[in-house]
Amino acid sequence: EALNTFFSSDIFGRIEKADELHREMRFLTEFDANVLSKEAEKTGEKIIIQGAVDLCFKEADSIVILDFKTDRVTDEKQLIEAYAEQLRYYALACEKVFGLPVKEKIIYSFCLGKEIRL
């Protein structure tokens, strides 16, 4: 049932129409420490971040990031609190990799059966 809900969702329709699609896109990239942390001073220190974006796709001249979650939650705020920072890092990496802005960061919750925009 959860999969059927996803396959009939608006976000799945957007995925099908995407100009370009990347699944499980692994990245390893370097950023200035102050870009990743508001508390970090501009010391010139670098931080290396690695991860894997579940799905990202190109629409026009921008990127949409979609992160799938199976967490058993009762409220979308729980997912936002737990994963907003992770998706911020994914957006920074995607902008660096593709040279395009990220226009949307979306969590798709299979438990709640809906997309959550950050």
Interval 97-110 mean pLDDT? 96
Contact residues for 42 (Cβ-Cβ < 8 A; gap 6+) = 32, 34
Place of tokens 């010391």: 43
Which amino acid appears at position 75 of this protein?
A: D
Calpha distance 85→106 (Å, rounded)? 12
Comparing CA positions, the residue from 41, 4, 12, 2 lying closest to residue 106 is 12
Confidence at 38, pLDDT banded by 50, 70, 90: low
The whole-model pTM stands at: 0.85
Q: What sign has the CA pseudo-torsion 102, 84, 109, 75?
A: negative
Is the pLDDT score of 4 beyond 70? yes
Confidence at 41, pLDDT banded by 50, 70, 90: low
